[in-house]
Structure 1
C-alpha cells in the first residue's frame, strides 16, 4: 500500500541525493526567467483606467448616447441633462469626439471635438456650400480616474466655457434682408413684421364666445371671416393652437388691445416677405419668394452661441452673414394692377399673362379669386385653346406655300370634314372669302379644311416655333406652355386646327404664342432681370413674311372681325377663341399684341369669347398710354 512506509516485494527504497551544481544552476535559471517574465507581463498589460475612461466617454458622445456618457461621470443626472441639451441645441449633421492625449499618472485626458452643423444639402448645386465646422479641444479627469474612479463632472468637458447655468445653441445669422424690386426698381416685396392671432383651444372655455368676440374685430381686415368660420377653425385644431389670421402691423394696431383681451388669444410676432402693397397678388410672387429665400440661405452666416440663464448670448464659433443682393423682377406694377382689376368682377376662373416680346420680360401674371383657389392656372393650367390656335394653323398653312392671305377659300356654316361635322359659331356662313377674312371672322370650316392637306407634324412644328410645347426653365417661374401632339390622321388634324382634340395650352403658353408673333421668334421668358429662361429645344423661327402676315390678320380681327368691341384701341392686334369642353360651357380666350406687350386672357366656362375680350379691354384701356411701343 502506497504511503505505508512498508517495503513490499519488488519495491526498492529511494534515497534522496543532493543536487548537482549544474542542476542547481538550471533550477535557478528557470526561476529567474520566470520572475523576469512576470515583470514583463506587468509592463505589457492593456489600456490604463484613464485611457479606457476617456475612450468610453468619447465613444458615447460620438454615438450621441447621453446616458452612457453621463454614467461614466461623478454626477450622471447633471451630465445627462447637459449632454442632451447640447445635442438638442446644436442639432448636428455629424459629431465626432476622439481622445487626443492622456496622462495615466494624473488621470487626465484631452478630447478633440469635430462638429458638422447646419442643414444638410438636399439638392445638387453647381457650388455646394462648405459644411459648417466647429472644432475644439477640452480637458478633464483627475487622480481618481487613474485608479478606476468616475470622471469628475464638469460641463467644460463638453465645450469650452460651458457652465452649469449656460447652454449651447446653433443658429443662422442673416446679413440683412434683400428687397424684391419691380420693373421700375421700386420695392415690390420686403421683409415685414406680422402678428399671428393664435387661440389656445385648451385654454378657451367656450369656443363660440371666443369666435363671436374675434369675428367683428377682424371683419374690417377680413370681411369673409365670420364667427362660424372662426369656430370651425378652432374645432379643426383638435385641442391644439389655432392660427385664426395673420395681420400686418397697420391692420393690427387699431385692434391689438381688444384682441389680446379675448380669452385664449395670444399674439405672436414673426417676419415674412410680403408685398409692399397688400393689394398686390400674383402667382409669380411665389417664385420670387423662393428665389428670395434661396438668396437668404446662400448669404446666411451661422453661429454657435453660449446662452446664459438671463438670455444673453456670446458667439463662440461661426461666420457672420452677408446681405444677399436685391432681386430685380420684371413685373410692372401698373400692368399687373390693371390685369388684376380686369378680372376681379368675373365669377368664373380667369387669368391674364402679359409678356414684353422684345425681351421676354413677364410684365404681369394675374388671376381672380376663383382661379387662385384652383392653383396657379395662369402659368400651369392646361385647356383647349380653341380658335386662338388658328394663329398656329394659319402659320402652318402659309408656310406650306399652298395659300396666301388673299387666297379665296370656302367658309360654309358647317362642313363634314373627314367624318366630323365642323360648325362655325352660330353656323354663320361667309361663302367664299380670302383667308385673311376667314381668320378675322374665325371660320372653323375653313381652318379644318386647310388642315386636312397638312402633314402629321405640321401643326406640332408650327406651334413649337411660337413656344407652344416648349419647356422653359426660368428662374422664379414654374410654367407649362402646352402640348400639340403629332396628328397622324386627317380627322385628328381637323380637330387640332381649331384648338380642340388633344391640343392644350396654358394662358402663359398662349401669351408666348402672341409674343412670338410680335417678335418674329419665341422670346426666352424672364421674371428676373438678366436671368432669361432656357428652353429644352430651340426650333427655327417662322419665316418673317408669315409673322408679318399674321400680325396684319390679327389687326383685322379687331377692326372687322370677332373683336370689334376693342376697335378703339388703335394699335391692338388679336385673336378670339371659344373652346368646347367635355361638359359644361365652353372656355373663352383672347390673345393680343399692343405695342411691345403681348398677352393672353382666359375665362373658364364663359360660353363665348366675349367675356375674355371685354376683360382685355378693361386691362388695356387704363394703361394703354403707358405701354411700351
Structure 2
C-alpha cells in the first residue's frame, strides 16, 4: 500500500455522470468478477452511501460501523474512489482521495490525502462480495482503530496595538455547563461570586429553556475559575470544559472593533493551519498517518492606541444614554479608538454603522460649501435672527437666541441655525452632497478588519430641503465613524483612507477632489473659535483643540441627540450621545477623554 500526501489544491466539482463513467472505465464491460463488485463498492463509497457499500461486503454489520465511523472521523463522506486495477484472481486495488477540512468544498482544501489500498472479492451464496477487511478503506485501518481528521497549528498569533503591545491573545477559558440534574439553588451562590447578577431563578429559566439539553451558565478565565473550581466540581450536574478563545488582555476593554479583528486573526490562523489524519486506538495514543505541519500565523498589528482606547471607554462609561467615541488619525487614517458604553452595546455597533441626523456638526460641511462657492467668507456679516422663515420652513436657533448681524465666523462658533439655513438656500442642489463627499461623508469604505458606514447626504432638489440639510436634519444621516472622518478630513484637507490593520488601508468606492486648503484653513480657525468663544467653551483649557458641537432632533422632534466633533493636532474624533437633549454631554465626554 502506498500513501501519498499531495499539495493543497482547489477541488473540482464534476458532474454526477463522471463518477459512473470513471467506475465503468475501471471495470470490465461484462459480468467478470471481482471488477464489477469492486467497482460497485468504489461507487458507493464515493457517493457517501455507507450502507450500500457495507452490503457489498461479507460482513455488512461490521463494515457499516467502520465505514460510518470513517466518514465521521474524517469529517467527510465524499471521497474520490476509483478502481486502480485488478490483479490475478480475485484481487483489486482502489485509488482514494480525501479532501479534508472545513473549506474542502469551497475556496480551497485544508488538506488532501491520497492513497491506494488492496482488497479481494469472494464468490459465495449471496454472489460476489468484497471480503471484509477495514484495511480496504484506508492504510492500517483495523477493527480496533479509527481515523480522525484534526487541524494543527503553530504558535498562536496575537493581536497587537499600534505600539506592539498585546491587545488580544488566545487563552484557555472554562465553560461551566449544567445538565438537567443540576440544582440552580446550589450553583447560583457559587457563580454569583464571579457574576453577581446570576441567580437561582436565572439559572432555572435557562435550564427550562434548554429542555433536557445542557446549559453553559458561564465562561470563566483561569483567574476567575481558581477560587470556585473545587466548589463547582463538588456539585452534581456541573461539568467544567476547557476551551481556547481569543480574549482581550485587559478584560475591561470592550469595543465593537474586536469582532472584526478576531475574524482577521482567525483568517490568519486558518491560512497557517496544518492538518493531520490520526490513527486512534481504543487503548493507545494517536498516531499520525498523513498530514502537513501548521506554521506560526503572523500577529495582527492594529492601529488601536491602547491608552486612548482606555480613556475613551472610561469617558463614555458614566453616561446613562448610549454614548460612543470614534477617533481617527488624519495623517494616516489609522483608527485609534472606538468606544461604546453598555447602553450603546445593547443596540449594536452603533459607533461604526449607526445612522443619525448629525445636527449642527454638519454646519462644517455647509460652511465649507458656502466658502468654496464664494457666497461668503469668514468675515462676511450676515443676519442671525432668533427665528427665520425660509421657503415656508420656520427655523429657530437654540432657545431662539438672536445675535443680530454678525460675521460668519461668529455665527458658526455660536451655531446659528438661521444663518446657515439662509446660506444653503443659495447653493446648487448638489453642493452639500459634493462638499460632504470631500470630507468623506457618503463615501463607502471597504476596510480590512472593519465594517463601517459613513452616512448619506442626498441631493436637495428644493430650497426647503436645503434649509433642512444645512443644519444636519431632514434626509441627512451620519454615523459617529462618518463624522470622525469629517473631522479628520478637515485637518488633512481630504478624506484619509481608514485603516485598523497596519499597512492595510481601505479602498473607497470613489475618489473626490481635495478640498481647498484656504477654505479648510478658514474652517479650522472657526472651529477653534467654537472652543474658545462659542458653544464648546467648556473645553477652552485644552490647547489647540478645534471642534463643532451639534444637537440633532429626531422622531417627532421632541428629543435630540448630542454631538461633538473635534481635532487636536493629529487626532480627530467624534462623540455621540443618543437622546442627550443637547451637545453638553458629548462635550463632557470629550473633556474626560482628553484630560484623562
Length-normalised TM-score, structure 1: 0.88
What's the CA shift for 1:528?
0.7
What's the CA shift for 1:141?
1.4
1:392-431 → structure 2 map (5 Å cutoff): 392-431=365-404
Residue 156, structure 1, aligned to residue 135, structure 2: yes
Partner secondary structure for residue 270 of structure 1: strand
1:61-460 → structure 2 map (5 Å cutoff): 61-92=45-76, 94-103=78-87, 106-120=89-103, 128-130=107-109, 132-141=111-120, 144=123, 148-201=127-180, 203-204=181-182, 210-310=183-283, 312-460=285-433
- In the alignment, which residue of structure 1 is the partner of 2:24? none
Partner secondary structure for residue 456 of structure 1: coil
- In the alignment, which residue of structure 2 is the partner of 1:547? 520
1:513-552 → structure 2 map (5 Å cutoff): 513-552=486-525
| CA deviation vs aligned residue, 1:217-276 (integer Å, no higher than 9, x gap) | 223432332333222222221221111111100001000111122221111110000001
Distance, in Å, in 2 between the alignment partners of 1:53 and 1:360 is 66
Partner secondary structure for residue 572 of structure 2: strand
Distance, in Å, in 1 between the alignment partners of 2:104 and 2:72 is 20
8 Å Cα contact 2:334-2:498 kept in structure 1: yes
- In the alignment, which residue of structure 1 is the partner of 2:18? none
Question: Which of 446, 452, 472 is matched with 1:473 structurally?
Answer: 446
CA change 1:146–1:216 in 2 (3 A) is closer
Distance, in Å, in 2 between the alignment partners of 1:282 and 1:143 is 66
8 Å Cα contact 1:510-1:591 kept in structure 2: yes
Distance, in Å, in 2 between the alignment partners of 1:116 and 1:314 is 20
What's the CA shift for 1:424?
0.3
Distance, in Å, in 1 between the alignment partners of 2:29 and 2:145 is 41
- In the alignment, which residue of structure 2 is the partner of 1:3? none
Distance, in Å, in 2 between the alignment partners of 1:46 and 1:312 is 46
Distance, in Å, in 1 between the alignment partners of 2:475 and 2:32 is 80
CA change 1:446–1:109 in 2 (3 A) is same
8 Å Cα contact 1:107-1:144 kept in structure 2: no
Partner secondary structure for residue 586 of structure 1: strand
Residue 618, structure 1, aligned to residue 584, structure 2: no
8 Å Cα contact 1:145-1:151 kept in structure 2: no
8 Å Cα contact 2:324-2:344 kept in structure 1: yes
Q: Which stretch of the first structure deviates more once superposed, 446-455 or 236-245?
A: 236-245
8 Å Cα contact 2:38-2:121 kept in structure 1: no
> Which structure 1 residue ranges, 4+ long, deviate > 6 Å from structure 2?
none
What's the CA shift for 1:427?
0.5
CA change 1:146–1:98 in 2 (3 A) is farther
Distance, in Å, in 2 between the alignment partners of 1:185 and 1:353 is 21
Distance, in Å, in 1 between the alignment partners of 2:332 and 2:121 is 74
1:3-22 → structure 2 map (5 Å cutoff): none
Distance, in Å, in 2 between the alignment partners of 1:457 and 1:240 is 59
Distance, in Å, in 1 between the alignment partners of 2:350 and 2:98 is 46
| CA deviation vs aligned residue, 1:539-569 (integer Å, no higher than 9, x gap) | 1111001110111101100110001111111
Residue 55, structure 1, aligned to residue 39, structure 2: yes
8 Å Cα contact 2:147-2:280 kept in structure 1: yes
What stretches of structure 2 of length at least 5 have no aligned partner?
1-27
What's the CA shift for 1:142?
5.7
- In the alignment, which residue of structure 1 is the partner of 2:537? 564
8 Å Cα contact 2:354-2:480 kept in structure 1: yes
What's the CA shift for 1:65?
1.8
CA change 1:226–1:130 in 2 (3 A) is closer
8 Å Cα contact 2:484-2:573 kept in structure 1: yes
What's the CA shift for 1:89?
1.2
Distance, in Å, in 2 between the alignment partners of 1:569 and 1:45 is 90
CA change 1:138–1:351 in 2 (3 A) is same
CA change 1:300–1:547 in 2 (3 A) is same
8 Å Cα contact 2:174-2:222 kept in structure 1: yes
| CA deviation vs aligned residue, 1:494-531 (integer Å, no higher than 9, x gap) | 00000000000000000000000111111111101100
Distance, in Å, in 1 between the alignment partners of 2:304 and 2:292 is 35
What's the CA shift for 1:144?
5.0
**Which protein is bigger by CA-based radius of gyration?**
1
Partner secondary structure for residue 129 of structure 2: coil
CA change 1:175–1:488 in 2 (3 A) is same
What's the CA shift for 1:46?
3.0
Partner secondary structure for residue 240 of structure 1: coil
What's the CA shift for 1:611?
0.5
| CA deviation vs aligned residue, 1:146-182 (integer Å, no higher than 9, x gap) | 9955332111011110011100111211122100001
Structure 1 vs Structure 2 CA RMSD: 1.8
| CA deviation vs aligned residue, 1:255-314 (integer Å, no higher than 9, x gap) | 011112222111111000000111111111111000001111111111111111125212
What stretches of structure 1 of length at least 5 have no aligned partner?
1-43, 205-209, 623-629
CA change 1:335–1:232 in 2 (3 A) is same
